[in-house]
Chains A and B, each alone.
Chain A
Amino acid sequence: MNSSGVLKSSSSELDLDRPNIEDYLPSGAAIQQEPRGKLRLHDLLDISPTLSEAAGAIVDDSFTRCFKSNPPEPWNWNIYLFPLWCFGVFARYLIIFPTRVLVLTIGWIIFLSSFIPVHFLLKGHDKLRRSIERSLVEMICSFFVASWTGVVRYHGPRPSRRPKQVFVANHTSMIDFIVLEQMTAFAVIMQKHPGWVGLLQSTILESVGCIWFNRSEAKDREIVARKLREHVQGADNNPLLIFPEGTCVNNHYTVMFKKGAFELGCTVCPVAIKYNKIFVDAFWNSRKQSFTKHLLQLMTSWAVVCDVWYLEPQNLKPGETPIEFAERVRDIISTRAGLKMVPWDGYLKYSRPSPKHRERNIGS
């Protein structure tokens, strides 16, 4: 039996972004039907392939794996390793951490004392004001990175400020944005967060240009798409950075990219980020920790080590759909950063697959 085409829904957020999921899903045949007459009771009653798949999903599934944060292995089990580790804890919490907090505070003081005057006094001179604000945002991000002793290696040509281009990157934590921002002031599209992060978003990030969205609002999509398009057309705007996965993934896998960034009719520049877990796991497991806790964890570790690759800009090939384009770029990023691709929509973290998806699986 062949599945009869793609079932579409306009209200669910989950389906339009997905290319031919039948190609990815294991092809457990629902009914092994041979030409009529040869169908035996044995074939009809034998549901073992489907049951095996279900049990397989219970035992291990690729989606949960994407969000699994591996707890660091303790190494202090020894008579001489334990005091060494204690010394490390002492150094990290009582010496390094206060120093970092100090550095960060100084950074914020410098930033705010420059940003606020510039923002209000240079109201008339937009171009100059924006250029200074950009440098200041880059500076405060450098301070943030310094506060975790970030060892970031950038590879590839630095992003250029040209119109009609967007940058896409894989997403592990909100610090991705800070790591990238310290090199180039990007405009960004983000989920509106509560708390102090939200405050930062609405004040400082406004100056580099930000687009908000709300995951839970389905209608939001069209508005956001329009805002994206407007931003990209503007010659003066900062280059736009988008995380098409839509959610934080644990830096071993990539989930499917949302096609929004790929149908703006402009060049897409992929950026791959890979964190080295040697001192700390930079994956922000938003189910387990708040962002503040996550930052504190980073600040009490020895260092955050990562690699950033700016990859070759890609354009939509003739005859390619935006979804295929998204998958192609995802492949480029995953290969570069050594991540495995899984065919799941990141938003499944927040909601269940609709019954329509089950329909699609039947009969394939």
Chain B
Amino acid sequence: MGSASSMLTQYDIEEVQEHCNHLFSQQEIVCLYERFCQLDRNAKGFISSDEFLSIPEFVMNPLSQRLLKMVDGLNFKDFVAFLSAFSTKAGTHQKVELIFKVYDSDRNGKVSFKDILEVLKDLSGSYMSDDQREEVLGQVLKEAGYSKDCYLTLDDFIKVLGHSGVKMDVEVPVD
């Protein structure tokens, strides 16, 4: 494979598994490692933005830039920990937390009206005008009992998204 440590030892696998709270099986970790080495072209030990952006399917995703900020430069252990939120075994709380982090781009622990608008803009692009988005969001927030000026915390997110469960799973292809 050409990378510095292309063979994972059993100790390495267990360490990574520990780090991600056993949300991935050992076989999945081995497959993720192969994928990591495939993406990390010059075996630096982390995947650069450029290398993520060579995946056309990823680039075409409207939220790719936001995810890129979160995943850029991670070493393998942290890469697996990041992806563990997408494991079928991960709890709703962890998934909602990831969603919250995607919204909270300035990492201040609060999601403002503006933050939500920004994400909506990424998703709906040119299909809605800024005014339309503001209007829709304002209305929906009001119906849920929040005003335009209040900040949503992680608990609010869990309250809104958590009770019906969040379906956010990715299967690791194990050959």
Q: When the two chains form the complex, which single residue of A4, A44, A50, A56 contacts B62, counting CB atoms closer than 8 Å?
A: A50
Which residue on chain A has the smallest CB distance to residue B144?
A41
Give the residue of A25, A30, A58 whose beta carbon is less than 8 angstroms from that of B123.
A30
Quick check: B98 and A51 within 8 Å, CB to CB? yes
Which residues from chain B contact A45 at a C-beta distance below 8 Å?
99, 103, 116, 157, 160-161
Q: Which of A61-69, A123-131, A321-329 binds B?
A: A61-69
What does the 1/0 interface line of B135-175 toward A look like (CB < 8 Å)?
Answer: 01100110110100000000001001100101111111100
- A361 to chain B: which residues have CB within 8 Å? 60-62
A72 contacts partner chain B, Cβ-Cβ < 8 Å: no
B83 proximity list for chain A (CB < 8 A): 55, 58-59
B88 to chain A, nearest CB (A): 11
Please give the distance in Å from A157's CB to the nearest CB on chain B. Answer: 38
Name the A residues within 8 Å of B103 (CB-CB). 45
Q: Which residues of B contact A25 (CB under 8 A)?
A: 60
A352 CB, min distance to chain B CBs, angstroms: 6
| Contact A40-B144, Cβ < 8 Å, known A48-B168, A52-B168, A71-B1 | yes
CB-defined interface of A1-19 with B at 8 Å, one 1/0 digit per residue? Answer: 1001000000000000000
Q: Which residues of chain B are near A4, meaning CB under 8 Å?
A: 127
> Of B32, B60, B171, which is in contact with the most chain A CB atoms at under 10 Å from its CB?
B60
**Interface flags, A340-364, vs B, CB<8A=1, else 0:** 0000100010001100011101110
Instruction: List the A side residues contacting B126 at CB < 8 Å.
Output: 359, 362
CB <8 Å contact, B54 and A352 = yes
Which one of B59, B67, B71, B102 contacts A358 once the chains associate, using CB atoms below 8 Å?
Answer: B59
Q: Mark A124-160, 1 if CB is under 8 A from B, else 0.
A: 0000000000000000000000000000000000000
Give Cα A59–Cα B98 distance, bound, in whole angstroms.
Answer: 17
A48 and B56 in contact, given A40-B144, A361-B61 (Cβ under 8 angstroms): no
Give the residues in chain B near A53, CB-CB below 8 Å: 57, 61
Is the Cβ of A41 less than 8 Å from the Cβ of B143? yes
The verdict on B21 contacting chain A, using a C-beta distance below 8 Å, is no
Which residues from chain B contact A225 at a C-beta distance below 8 Å? Answer: none
Chain B residue numbers with a CB within 8 Å of A357 are: 59-60
Q: Indicate if A46 sits at the interface (CB-CB under 8 A).
A: yes
Instruction: Decide if A61 touches B161 in the complex (CB within 8 Å).
Output: no
Q: Decide yes or no: A54 and B173 within 8 Å by CB, A362-B127, A363-B124 being known contacts.
A: no
Q: Which residues of A contact B137 (CB under 8 A)?
A: 44
Does residue A317 face the partner (Cβ distance < 8 Å to B)? no
Interface size class of A (residues with CB under 8 A): 35 or more
Asked whether A226 is an interface residue with its Cβ less than 8 Å from the other chain, the reply is no
- Residues on B with C-beta less than 8 A from A58 are 52, 55, 58, 67, 71, 83
Write out, one digit per residue, whether chain B residues 1-21 have a CB within 8 A of any chain A CB (1) or not (0).
100000000000000000000
A344's nearest neighbour on chain B, judged by CB, is B56
Neighbouring A residues of B98 by C-beta, 8 Å: 51
B43 CB to nearest chain A CB (Å): 13
B99 touches A51 (CB 8 A): yes
When distances are taken between beta carbons in the complex, the residues of chain B under 8 Å from A68 are 38
The reply to whether the CB of B120 lies closer than 8 angstroms to some CB of chain A is yes
> Known contacts being A30-B62, A40-B140, A41-B144, is A61 close to B56, with CB within 8 Å?
yes
**Which residues of chain A are near B124, meaning CB under 8 Å?**
30-31, 362-363
A44 touches B125 (CB 8 A): no
Q: Is A39 an interface residue (CB 8 A)?
A: yes
Nearest B residue to A360, CB-CB: B60
Q: Which residue of B lies closest to A361 (CB)?
A: B60
Q: Given the interface contacts A46-B161, A47-B102, A47-B123, does A59 sit within 8 Å of B95 by beta carbon?
A: no
Q: Does the CB pair B55–A64 fall under 8 Å?
A: yes
Give every chain B residue within 8 A of A48 (Cβ-Cβ): 95, 99, 166-168
CB distance from A198 to the nearest CB of B (A): 27
Q: How far is the CB of B47 from chain A (nearest CB, A)?
A: 9
Q: Which residues of B contact A39 (CB under 8 A)?
A: 136, 140
State whether B141 touches A41 (Cβ < 8 A). yes
CA distance A47 to B64 in the complex (A): 12
27 contacts between A and B (CB under 8 A): A25-B60, A31-B123, A41-B140, A41-B146, A42-B160, A46-B166, A48-B167, A51-B86, A51-B99, A52-B169, A52-B170, A55-B83, A57-B58, A58-B55, A59-B170, A61-B55, A61-B58, A63-B56, A64-B39, A64-B54, A68-B38, A71-B1, A344-B56, A352-B54, A352-B59, A358-B62, A359-B126
| B-to-A contact residues, CB < 8 Å | 1, 32, 35, 38-39, 52-64, 67, 71, 83, 86, 95, 98-99, 102-103, 116, 119-120, 123-127, 136-137, 140-141, 143-144, 146, 157, 160-161, 164, 166-173
Q: Given contacts A44-B116, A53-B61, A357-B60, could you give 13 more A-B pairs where the C-beta distance is less than 8 Å?
A: A31-B120, A46-B161, A51-B98, A52-B168, A54-B67, A55-B83, A59-B171, A59-B172, A61-B56, A64-B38, A352-B53, A352-B54, A358-B61
- Going nearest first, the 6 A-B pairs with the smallest beta carbon separation are A48-B168, A57-B57, A41-B144, A57-B58, A362-B125, A30-B123
